[in-house]
């Protein structure tokens, strides 16, 4: 029915008005930099960056203002030139709190001295990885894993294939679609540079079939110099096609083991936005200070914007002509996996793929008893039994939930979407994972304390 390139489970949320069909045709527009940017020092998985500036310091655009706080971390850079007016704690999407550098924009866009790589083709993999690390590049599909770490395999891991995520399977979001369409040449060049950094000869770009223009643009660029070894693969439209494990299986037929990572089957996965950022860092010397963001849902004029990191969401809303009546919630990301925003002053970060204004569909419906229909099992891309995990977590049986694989849940929301009883299955799995993770940390801390006594 869906062809050979498919993964287990999945669903296809119907796209409403202001979804992909509307925004996919809107070209990327440069959003003017705001009067003030608020740049979080935690925009990635791992240790937060450590502030390098203080109140009163003058900074240049692209200047490093936060140093990586460990190996799994990433530096942070100023997205405008101006003066630091505060280094303070803020709340970001989803309610987490982190330190942030607040910069008053002088509207000069005075760049720090940039040093593009003169001949990256002659550089070693380690040198290219270091350039990517210093540019502060992280996974821009939403996860935010530091890219330099992903490109540095540990131990005896051998990477054979680079998989590029151009699926953009969430409803509404079209930022990656527009980037592939408008920056296809730079993306292919970026893929080639990452292939050099990984020392691999094969790359596959997975793009869903609902973006035929992007597929054509990328394939056209692959026919020229530098396109050897790069394949553009048209994939069925199915959520969550963009999940790492699902994308690896769909493109290579390799199955990532439970609890494992793509590198366990010889693959590394990068988002197209990440690839573009790598190309800009190596060819232009520019650190990651801006990204493409979709503004959609209940706004008067939805669009795709190139946005400076640290820009408040309110500036995006204003650029779209304001919110429509009936808006109940703002979401950072897509409607399936996005995080709610407590305010429109929350800043755009490296992982903000979109901001959505949603109505009644964003409000959790009243739950009903499970009817044992099995739709959640059929839909789960990780082949779990969400209804059983939900019951175990609600009953506080976290040990059994762990045995039943709750830690393998990718929190894609497909089970909740498919459930006719409107059970909050994903939320239960998320809570179970959080409790189990906290228990493990407590046990590790206790064991370390006992060992220290000995």
Phi and psi torsions of 408, nearest 5°:
-85, -5
Task: Determine the pLDDT at residue 256.
Answer: 93
Sign of CA pseudo-dihedral 389, 393, 395, 401? positive
Nearest-angstrom CA–CA distance, 396 and 17: 40
Task: Determine the pLDDT at residue 226.
Answer: 58
Q: What is the pTM of this model?
A: 0.93
The CB density around residue 422, as the number of other CB atoms within 10 Å, is 12
Nearest-angstrom CA–CA distance, 165 and 178: 14
Pairing of strands 339-340, 50-51: unpaired
- Taking only the tens place, the pLDDT of each residue in 77-98 is 999 999 999 999 999 988 889 9
Beta carbons of 406 and 432 less than 8 angstroms apart: yes
Task: Determine the pLDDT at residue 22.
Answer: 74
- Taking only the tens place, the pLDDT of each residue in 160-209 is 999 999 999 999 999 999 999 999 999 999 999 999 999 999 999 999 99
Alpha helices in 341-385 (DSSP H): 375-379
Residue 150 host element (H or E): helix 147-150
Mean predicted confidence (pLDDT) in 280-299: 97
- Taking only the tens place, the pLDDT of each residue in 305-354 is 999 999 999 999 999 999 999 999 999 999 999 999 999 999 999 999 99
pLDDT of 136 above 80: yes
Nearest-angstrom CA–CA distance, 162 and 201: 9
Which of these, 128, 126, 150, lies nearest to 244 by C-alpha position?
A: 150
Give the residue extent of every domain in the chain.
1-30+116-363, 375-453
Q: How many residues does the structure list for the chain?
A: 454
**Radius of gyration over alpha carbons of the chain, in Å?**
22
Q: Helix (H, G, I), strand (E, B), or coil: what is residue 275?
A: helix
- Taking only the tens place, the pLDDT of each residue in 404-414 is 999 999 999 99
For 20-69, the DSSP string reads HHHHTT--EEEPPPPSEEEEES--SSSSPPEE---TT-EE-BT-EEEE--
Beta carbons of 139 and 165 less than 8 angstroms apart: no
Which of these, 395, 397, 388, 329, lies nearest to 364 by C-alpha position?
A: 329
Task: Determine the pLDDT at residue 225.
Answer: 56
Question: For residues 425 and 365, which has the higher predicted lDDT (pLDDT)?
Answer: 425
Task: Determine the pLDDT at residue 18.
Answer: 42
pLDDT of 113 above 80: yes
The DSSP call for residue 405 is T
Mean predicted confidence (pLDDT) in 380-398: 97
| Angle in degrees, CA 77, 79, 84, rounded to 5 | 80
Task: Determine the pLDDT at residue 381.
Answer: 95
Burial class of residue 352 in the structure, from the number of CB atoms within 10 Å of its CB (0-12 exposed, 13-18 middle, 19+ buried): buried
Q: Round the average pLDDT of the chain to a whole number and report it.
A: 93
Task: Determine the pLDDT at residue 219.
Answer: 95
Percent of residues, the chain, with pLDDT higher than 70: 96
No. of helices (H) and no. of strands (E), the chain: 14, 17
Task: Determine the pLDDT at residue 52.
Answer: 98
Nearest-angstrom CA–CA distance, 294 and 315: 13
Nearest-angstrom CA–CA distance, 252 and 254: 5
pLDDT of 16 above 80: no
Task: Determine the pLDDT at residue 19.
Answer: 63
CATH number of 1-30+116-363: 3.40.50.11540
Alpha helices in 172-243 (DSSP H): 175-182, 184-198, 212-222
Task: Determine the pLDDT at residue 384.
Answer: 97
């Amino acid at each position: 029915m869906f062809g050979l390139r498919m993964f287990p489970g999945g669903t296809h949320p119907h796209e409403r008005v202001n979804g992909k069909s509307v925004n996919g045709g809107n070209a990327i527009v440069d959003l003017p930099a705001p009067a003030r940017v608020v740049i979080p020092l935690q925009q990635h998985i791992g240790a937060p960056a450590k502030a390098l500036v203080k109140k009163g310091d003058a900074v240049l655009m692209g200047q490093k203002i936060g140093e990586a706080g460990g190996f799994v971390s990433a530096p942070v850079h100023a997205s405008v030139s101006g003066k630091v007016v505060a280094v303070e704690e803020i709340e970001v999407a989803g309610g987490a709190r982190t330190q942030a550098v607040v910069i008053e924009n002088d509207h000069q866009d005075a760049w720090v001295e940039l040093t593009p790589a003169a001949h990256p083709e002659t550089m070693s993999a380690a040198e290219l990885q270091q350039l990517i690390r210093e540019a502060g590049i992280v996974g821009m599909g939403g996860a935010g894993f530091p890219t330099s770490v992903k490109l540095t395999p540990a131990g005896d891991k051998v990477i054979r294939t680079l998989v590029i995520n151009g699926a953009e399977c969430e409803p509404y979001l079209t930022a990656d679609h527009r980037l592939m369409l408008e920056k296809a040449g730079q993306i292919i060049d970026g893929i080639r540079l990452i292939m050099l950094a990984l020392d691999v000869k094969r790359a596959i770009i997975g793009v869903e079939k609902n973006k035929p223009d992007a597929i054509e643009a990328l394939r056209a660029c692959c026919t020229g110099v530098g396109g050897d070894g790069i394949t553009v693969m048209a994939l069925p439209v199915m959520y969550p096609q963009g999940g790492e494990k699902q994308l690896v299986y769909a493109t290579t037929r390799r199955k990532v083991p439970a609890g494992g990572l793509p590198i366990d089957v010889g693959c590394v996965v990068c988002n197209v936005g990440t690839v573009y950022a790598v190309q800009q860092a190596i060819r232009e010397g520019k650190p990651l200070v801006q990204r493409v963001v979709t503004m959609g849902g209940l706004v008067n004029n939805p669009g795709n914007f190139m946005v400076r990191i640290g820009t408040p969401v309110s500036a995006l809303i204003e650029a779209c002509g304001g919110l429509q009546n009936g808006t109940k919630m703002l979401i950072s990301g897509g409607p399936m996996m996005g995080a709610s925003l407590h305010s429109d002053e929350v800043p755009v970060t490296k992982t903000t793929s979109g901001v959505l204004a949603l109505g009644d569909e964003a409000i959790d419906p009243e739950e009903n008893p499970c009817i044992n229909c099995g739709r959640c099992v059929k839909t789960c891309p990780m082949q779990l039994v969400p209804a059983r995990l939900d019951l175990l977590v609600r009953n506080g049986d976290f040990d059994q939930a762990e045995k039943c694989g709750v830690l393998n849940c990718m929190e894609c929301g497909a089970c909740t979407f498919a459930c006719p009883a409107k059970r909050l299955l994903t939320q239960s799995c998320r809570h179970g994972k959080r409790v189990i993770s906290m228990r493990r940390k407590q046990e590790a801390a206790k064991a370390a304390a006992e060992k220290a006594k000995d």
